[in-house]
Amino acid sequence: MNLWGVLVFVAVLCVTTCSLQTDQRHWKDLAEKELHEALQVKWNLGTAKNVIVFVGDGMGPNTVTATRIYQGGETHRMSFEKFPHVGLLKTYSADKMVPDSACSATALFGGVKSNYGTLGVDATVRRNDCSASLNKEARLNSLAALALNAGKSSGLVTTMRVTHATPGPLYAHAASRSWECEASMPSNAKQCKDIARQLVEDWPGRDLHVVLGGGRQVLVSNSTGTPDDPISSWSCYRQDGRDLIDVYKKDKETRGLRYKVVSNTRELENVDDNVEYLFGIFANEHMKYEFERNKGPEGQPSISDMTKVAIKILKKNPNGFFLMVEGGNIDMAHHRGRAKTAIDEAAAMERAVQLAINMTDEEDTLIIVTSDHTHTLTINGYPERGSSIFGIVRESPFDQVNYTTLSYGTGGPGSFQYSVETKDGETRVMRRDPSKEDTESFMYEQIAAIPLDENSHGGGDVAIYARGPHAHLFHNVHEQHYVYHAVAYAAKLGPYSNAYSTQISLGVIFMTVLIPFL
């Protein structure tokens, strides 16, 4: 081998060896950074003056993973993934292995497991049983109600109708999540109030300091839509002559409270510092997906826009506040089988989490990020590192048809991409080739194994991420309704108002009285 050949050989050997060492150093650096973070974690035993609970509706672990990759690749970490304390929640309801959002939100905010389709009531109330829901013993006091009783401010932000299944249990008690307005209630339930009326007329709904989301058509009789914001025939449409937004205004005026009602981004941004009560309804139905909303001043605000103003108003209370923020369109997109839209909505909620982190102090604010249930989204093997999470993996060696990284266990008619073909006397079930479609589109529906009317929820555990006072209470596999009790304990609310002050007092007695004699 001549000198040139030796130099080339040495260069190749060095590049190979150096590359290997660099690769090892990369992984070791990642691990050492995480180890350093872990060693710095200390329990915050203070009282949670403020509590913010983010609920990514339908944001199961696979949605979180896909959103992480979408945001910045496999090694990226989203804001809430850096929280020091993480656990898992079991999401089954009192009567179902796989829950809906009403019963799972009731568990989160009401502290007990309830029946599928019911909200703000315990498991003695079966779905559609109006008379049982009127039993005071069956009605639950939510975290929002406990906060109000403690002199704190309370509020909710959602991209859904403000009367929908996740926000509903914060203020309402209903034997059916469908009873958002009177038009959806059966004749044998007339003695029960619809959810919208409970929000505006009853406590604690009428005393919530911030209510932001969609749902004008369940609040105002015979609402009119626009081409950009039409009336939905799919959800409840109030027809009893009531204008509950007007009722809200009159209630605040009668009580001499400083309030504001807003309906678009411009009005929301112009809310002044004197406002104590804010009611914002930005859509007839659910609010638009982030990718399609009008981002101009006359359009609908983002979840971050709403969260920012909510915290600004609530934090004026020296006693602190409770705020629930729901990224509801994650769930809506999953129900349609549109994984990219769902993941883009999860990314939008993650930006709101980062904003909340920036606006609050970890010393006195407990921030929780979790979900109410999973969906049937799966991440399939074996795509290359760095490839699009919405891309195509490769051709299946079984049927010689390409397949996507993401798919669903269940889905609507558009996601059942199979057909029966007969060729040369042989009948085969064939999949549609996704390489012939735009899998990067927000409207693309991933393939599903089982056809239903829409994608169903999943029954898997969901993650819970926490930082702030008593965040360490979320540390292993928990029952979903445990969240209510842990939050109430951390913030000294309701039955836990004196819980750990007693523990501290006993500890002080032990340290000062008994130890000297040991």
Answer yes or no: is 23 a known binding residue.
Answer: no
Half-sphere exposure of 12 (CA within 13 A, CB side): 6
Please check if 331 is assigned to a binding site. yes
For residue 325, give the amino acid letter: V
pLDDT of residue 421: 85
Contact 45, 499 (CB under 8 A): no
Q: Is residue 442 in a domain?
A: yes
d(CA 2, CA 109): 77
Catalytic-labelled residue, pool 101, 153, 154, 456:
101
Tell whether 298 is in a known binding site: no
Q: Note the residue count of the chain.
A: 518
| Together in a domain, 290 and 395 | no
- Preceding omega of 382 cis (within 30 degrees of 0): yes
Cβ contact 415:446 at 8 Å? yes
435 assigned to some structural domain: yes
- Cβ-count burial 62-85 (b if 16+ within 10 Å, e if not): bbbebbbbbbeeeeeebbbeebbb
| Cα separation, 59 vs 212, whole angstroms | 21
Clarify whether residues 281 and 410 are in a common domain.
no
Q: Which two tokens stand for residue 375?
A: 């969906």
In this structure, the answer to whether residues 320 and 435 fall within a common structural domain is no
Residues 229 and 81 in one domain: yes
288 & 389 share domain: no
Do residues 236 and 315 share a domain?
Answer: yes
On whether 372 is known to bind a ligand per the annotation, the reply is yes
Sign of the Cα pseudo-torsion (150, 307, 259, 289, in order): negative
The answer to the question of whether 164 is labelled as a binding residue is yes
- The CATH number assigned to the domain holding 186 equals 3.40.720.10
Quick one: 266 and 392 in the same domain? no
Of 417, 451, 485, which closes a domain? 451
What range defines the domain where residue 365 resides?
A: 50-376+458-502
> 27 vs 24, 32, 70, 81, 382, CA distance in Å?
5, 9, 21, 18, 21
Angle subtended at Cα 277 by Cα 50 and Cα 312, rounded to the nearest 5 degrees:
45
Task: Report, as ranges of residue numbers, the positions in the chain whose pLDDT lies below 70.
Answer: 1-22, 500-518
Phi then psi dihedrals of residue 420, to 5 deg: -100, 125
CB 52 within 8 A of CB 360: yes
- Phi, psi (deg, nearest 5) at residue 502: -65, -40
424 is in an annotated binding site: no
Q: Is residue 13 part of a domain?
A: no
Whether 511 is in a domain gets the answer no
| Predicted pLDDT of residue 422 | 85
CA distance 13 to 51: 57
Are residues 343 and 466 both part of a single domain?
yes
Q: Are 431 and 390 in contact (CB under 8 A)?
A: no
User: What is the C-alpha to C-alpha distance for residues 54 and 311, in angstroms, rounded to an integer?
Assistant: 13
Establish whether 101 is a catalytic residue.
yes
What's residue 512's pLDDT?
Answer: 43
Per-residue confidence (pLDDT) for residue 428, from 0 to 100: 85
Determine whether the annotation assigns residue 267 to a binding site.
no
Does a structural domain hold residue 481?
yes
Q: What are the tokens at 148?
A: 């109000």
What is the total count of domains within the chain? 2
87 SS3 class: strand
pLDDT of residue 1: 52
Angle between helices 482-491 and 101-110 (to 10 degrees): 30
Same domain membership, residue 420 and residue 370:
no
Domain boundary among 435, 451, 467: 451
User: In whole angstroms, what separates CA 396 from the centre of its chain?
Assistant: 35
Strand order in 277-281's β-sheet? Answer: 259-262, 277-281, 210-214, 153-161, 321-327, 50-56, 365-370, 462-467, 85-90, 477-479
166 is in an annotated binding site: yes
Q: Are residues 292 and 273 in the same domain?
A: yes
| pLDDT of 499 | 75
- Looking at the domain assignment, is residue 303 inside a domain? yes
* Residue 396 maps to a domain: yes
Structural domain contains residue 112: yes
Residues 434 and 289 reside in one and the same domain: no
Q: Is 373 annotated as a binding residue?
A: yes
The pLDDT value recorded for residue 19 is: 47
Q: pTM of the prediction? A: 0.92
**208 with 256, same domain?**
yes
